[in-house]
Structures are given as C-alpha cells and as structure tokens.
C-alpha cells in the first residue's frame, strides 16, 4: 500500500506479508516508511493462520482508513 503523492512530499508505503514459520505458526510482517528510504519492520507471531489473517485484515483496514491505497496484492483470494 502507499499514500498518494502530494505536492513535494515523498509517498509513504506500508507492506504486509503473511508467512508460515517452521513450527506450524504464522508471522505477520509489517514494513513501513518513505519511498526510497529504509523502513521500519515489525514481526508478530500467531499460533494459526486464521489468527494471522484476522490481524492482517485489521492492520490493512486501519491503514486504508489513514489514506493508504492498495497498489499491489498477491496471494490466495486476491485474483479476479
């Protein structure tokens, strides 16, 4: 996701990734910052995929409410 470009301000990005771990759990990885600069990364662990997906959707919806727009999506259920 990213914010739309505004005047001289550099767009900001917010990247969300769900990934399985080696022990049957799941991680939600979030990275955010300004385009062209290193971002901050936060990783949260969940015991199962359903909990990780619910957290993913909560974070995504919160960022959409803050003005971010989806510019690329990949994964299950993301196609037409």
Q: Is residue 70 in some structural domain? A: no
Q: Is residue 74 in some structural domain? A: no
Rg (CA), the chain: 14
Domain count, the chain: 1
Contact yes or no for 72/38 (Cβ under 8 A):
no
Q: Would the pTM of this model clear 0.85, i.e. be above it? A: no
Instruction: Determine the 3-state secondary structure of 27 from DSSP.
Output: strand
Q: Is residue 75 in some structural domain? A: no
For residue 8, give both structure tokens: 């001289």
Give the model confidence (pLDDT) of 42-62 as tens digits: 999 999 999 999 999 999 999
Residue 41: give the domain boundaries.
12-65
Q: Is residue 24 in some structural domain? A: yes
What pLDDT, on a 0 to 100 scale, did the predictor assign at position 76?
Answer: 62
Q: Is residue 33 in some structural domain? A: yes
Q: Is residue 16 in some structural domain? A: yes
Q: Is residue 79 in some structural domain? A: no
Q: Is residue 39 in some structural domain? A: yes
């Amino acid at each position: 996701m990213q914010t739309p470009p505004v005047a001289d301000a550099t767009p900001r990005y917010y990247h969300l990734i769900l990934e399985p771990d080696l022990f049957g759990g799941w991680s939600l990885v979030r990275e955010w910052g300004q385009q062209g600069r290193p971002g901050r990364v936060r990783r949260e662990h969940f015991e199962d995929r359903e909990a990780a997906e619910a957290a993913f959707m909560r974070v995504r919806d919160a960022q959409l409410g803050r003005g971010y727009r989806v510019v690329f999506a990949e994964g299950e259920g993301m196609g037409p």
